[in-house]
Structure 1
Amino acid sequence: AAMDICQPTEEQKKGYFDRVPFAYTFDDKVLMPGMVSSNEVIRSLKDFPLDEDDVVIVTYPKSGTTWSSELISAIVHQGDTEGITPVPMEQRVPWLEMDYKYIPEDSFIHPKNRAAPLPSAKKRVWFTHLYLEYLPEAAKQGKCKVLYVGRNPKDTAVSFLHFHYIAKHLGCQTSMDFNEFFPLFTSGYVLGGEWFKHNTDYWKWCQNNPNARFVKFEDMKKDLAKEVESLEKFIGVPLTAEQRAKVVDHCSFKSMKGNKSTNRVEIKELFDKEKGSFIRKGVVGDWKNNFTVAQNEAFDALYKKKMEGSGLDYE
């Protein structure tokens, strides 16, 4: 019976679906916010052209997407942090499956306003939340670099709930509490789909693909310099010690929170900055302030069942 609290009722699912503007279900599997995505765009990605100079960052939502995007952007620009900061992140690292039909053309995030890449850019970078099966074929065939960033699911869940408060494309659901969000998250009835499937599919795939790398949010928190050193090698953009130090400093939590380009609250079409900060805490272990004992026990049981034999584990 303990497992039941991990499943939302039909009523909870319908309520959530109705609160997400233009919600739709892609492929009968994943709930998507229609304000920023569409079936057409996701289907068209199958043939998206990618080559060895491209990097695709993959995350389940709220697993360090913005952090890793800024990190990779700083690496491919060889530590030119002054050069990249004035350029909005949406222009440097666009969202692969974004559909801009509801975004005004004069918005800085609209592709029409995308600046030419900076001279220091050695590669193009995107991010995506899509399941492995919907990745562009070129990425699946190992033609470009794919970086997966994973995060402890309990911290991800808490961060994801807070994200619903400020995200207009998820309906600014300020009255939703963790008890209501918990079963939606654990069952995968949210943007990004099921956390377990997302993580384990990519984890297994990364093991057999030399052009793919699986990194954990927690390891980045522990020793960012070490991760940067390994990532620059992986991407093929070697940095000097001085450039590396700049990247690490630029991507510290304090710098990220104070940086308008990464705190993303300036995107008025997507976020309501009165409702909170895009970059909130960036800590490890915040879930302990939110999970009840029953939720924690039920989640641990589900985690054990879903992750068994995968070889992937989070602290």
Structure 2
Amino acid sequence: MVGPVAFKDVHKEEDDRICPPEEYADIISTLPSFESSGLRVRLYQGVWLLDHVVPGIMALQRRHKPQLGDVVLASPPKSGTTWLKALSFAVMGRAAYPPSDADHPLRRLNPHQCVPFMDNLFSAGQEAKLDALPSPRLLHTHAHHSMLPPSIADCKIVFVCREPKDMLVSMWHFVRSSGSSDFPFSALFELACEGKNPYGPIWDHLLGYWSVSRATPERVLFLKYEEMLVDPVSTVRELARFLGVPFTSVEEAAGWPADIADMCSIDALRGLQANKTGNTGLFFKCSHQSFFRKGVAGDWVDHMTPEMARRIDAIVEEKLRGSGLTFTS
């Protein structure tokens, strides 16, 4: 295994064409929906999705073509996705791109330009671009496990999640940076408590991947953002083992696990020119800078009242009760 190859290195030209699949329009028009502070969401298979994502998820379920060696990264929005993309790409691609390589894709591209977001590609009618990627492919989705097509059943899946309060704060900052500056945090908080935030309910998202990871740990690796922050080098080693490319004794002696962790740290990535300028995205243009805010645990204390924190904690605790999955605030 030599790959993966950075998506942007295969598709060098920008393509902003949006050609949503139209064959699902009649079905979509019947789905429950509502709008809050400019965000329109629809309920599809028990999940609240941004309006433009629904046809993409439906197309993904019906048309995704797996390739041997595919690895799927999954996450709720704003839960460590950018970091997981960087770490996974660096671990899987280290044979072709050693961490010391000055021309490493992660030193000249944003992590989201290296690992494609399937939901948006299918939503824009650009899923054919995935076929041009050589195996092994590294792909990403925000979809719940229950929504994944059977074609992904045999793929390795790495799921990362974040303490829900911090996830909501990060999501709010990201939405504001993407053009919805008048979107109040209280609105997003209420949606989350009702299970109606984008890709919500949060607890269903978590439990889906958690239960499968416990039943088949060889197929789904479940990571917590807060634990990754405590020991990123151990996370790098865990990723390598799970993906079937454990570090050799020579690589360990050369310090590659620590080198990869350092190269993919938020401070290192934030300082790169590729992440200081430019933007990415099809339906919303997101500045590369917007993916690198604080990257810490506990930032929710500056945005939530104690009453709000107790409320969301109580809801999540009740929903996760008996599963064995817990979070420490």
Instruction: Note whether the superposition's TM-score is higher than 0.5.
Output: yes
User: Given that residues 91 and 111 in structure 1 are in contact (C-alpha distance below 8 angstroms), is that contact kept between their aligned partners in structure 2?
Assistant: no
User: Given that residues 24 and 33 in structure 1 are in contact (C-alpha distance below 8 angstroms), is that contact kept between their aligned partners in structure 2?
Assistant: yes
Question: 1:90 offset after TM fit, Å?
Answer: 3.8
User: Given that residues 56 and 124 in structure 2 are in contact (C-alpha distance below 8 angstroms), is that contact kept between their aligned partners in structure 1?
Assistant: no
Aligned to 2:265: 252
Choose which of 230, 233, 236 in structure 1 pairs with 2:244: 236
Aligned to 1:283: 296
User: Given that residues 59 and 123 in structure 2 are in contact (C-alpha distance below 8 angstroms), is that contact kept between their aligned partners in structure 1?
Assistant: no
Choose which of 221, 225, 232 in structure 2 pairs with 1:217: 225
Aligned to 1:57: 73
Aligned to 2:85: 69
How much identity, in percent, do the aligned residues show?
A: 26
Cα–Cα, structure 1 residues 113 and 297, in superposed 2: closer, same or farther, change >3 Å? closer
Name the aligned partner's letter for residue 285 of structure 2: F
Q: Distance in 1 between matches of 2:324 and 2:258?
A: 33
| Helix, strand or coil at the partner of 1:97 | helix
Q: Distance in 2 between matches of 1:131 and 1:61?
A: 11
Question: 1:59 offset after TM fit, Å?
Answer: 0.4
Question: What stretches of structure 2 of length at least 5 have no aligned partner?
Answer: 1-32
Aligned to 1:96: 118
Establish whether residue 206 from structure 1 lines up as the match of residue 222 from structure 2. no
User: Given that residues 76 and 122 in structure 1 are in contact (C-alpha distance below 8 angstroms), is that contact kept between their aligned partners in structure 2?
Assistant: no
Deviations 1:2-46 (A, max 9, x none): xxxxxxxxxxx9441x613xx4515263333344x3425534434
Establish whether residue 156 from structure 1 lines up as the match of residue 172 from structure 2. no
Name the aligned partner's letter for residue 134 of structure 1: M
Question: 1:153 offset after TM fit, Å?
Answer: 0.5
Question: 1:159 offset after TM fit, Å?
Answer: 0.5
Cα–Cα, structure 1 residues 50 and 99, in superposed 2: closer, same or farther, change >3 Å? closer
Cα–Cα, structure 1 residues 100 and 263, in superposed 2: closer, same or farther, change >3 Å? farther
Cα–Cα, structure 1 residues 175 and 40, in superposed 2: closer, same or farther, change >3 Å? closer
Deviations 1:245-270 (A, max 9, x none): 32111111101222355578522753
Establish whether residue 186 from structure 1 lines up as the match of residue 193 from structure 2. yes
Q: Distance in 2 between matches of 1:24 and 1:296?
A: 25
Establish whether residue 146 from structure 1 lines up as the match of residue 168 from structure 2. no
Question: 1:181 offset after TM fit, Å?
Answer: 1.7
User: Given that residues 146 and 213 in structure 1 are in contact (C-alpha distance below 8 angstroms), is that contact kept between their aligned partners in structure 2?
Assistant: yes
Establish whether residue 136 from structure 1 lines up as the match of residue 149 from structure 2. yes
Deviations 1:219-261 (A, max 9, x none): 1100000111111011012331233232111111101222355
Q: Distance in 1 between matches of 2:121 and 2:51?
A: 8
User: Given that residues 70 and 262 in structure 1 are in contact (C-alpha distance below 8 angstroms), is that contact kept between their aligned partners in structure 2?
Assistant: no
Cα–Cα, structure 1 residues 60 and 258, in superposed 2: closer, same or farther, change >3 Å? same
Q: Distance in 1 between matches of 2:192 and 2:198?
A: 9
Q: Distance in 2 between matches of 1:70 and 1:165?
A: 24
Q: For this pair of structures, how many residues does the alignment match?
A: 283
Q: Distance in 2 between matches of 1:272 and 1:80?
A: 29
Aligned to 1:226: 234
Q: Distance in 2 between matches of 1:176 and 1:87?
A: 30
Name the aligned partner's letter for residue 212 of structure 1: V
Deviations 1:100-125 (A, max 9, x none): 6769xxxxxx77888976xxx87211
Aligned to 2:17: none
Deviations 1:58-77 (A, max 9, x none): 10111100110111001111
Name the aligned partner's letter for residue 155 of structure 2: C
Cα–Cα, structure 1 residues 132 and 112, in superposed 2: closer, same or farther, change >3 Å? closer
Establish whether residue 83 from structure 1 lines up as the match of residue 128 from structure 2. no
CA RMSD across the alignment: 2.9
Deviations 1:110-146 (A, max 9, x none): 77888976xxx87211111101111121323xx1110
Name the aligned partner's letter for residue 79 of structure 2: S
| Helix, strand or coil at the partner of 1:221 | helix
Question: 1:277 offset after TM fit, Å?
Answer: 2.7
Aligned to 2:44: 27
User: Given that residues 68 and 135 in structure 2 are in contact (C-alpha distance below 8 angstroms), is that contact kept between their aligned partners in structure 1?
Assistant: no
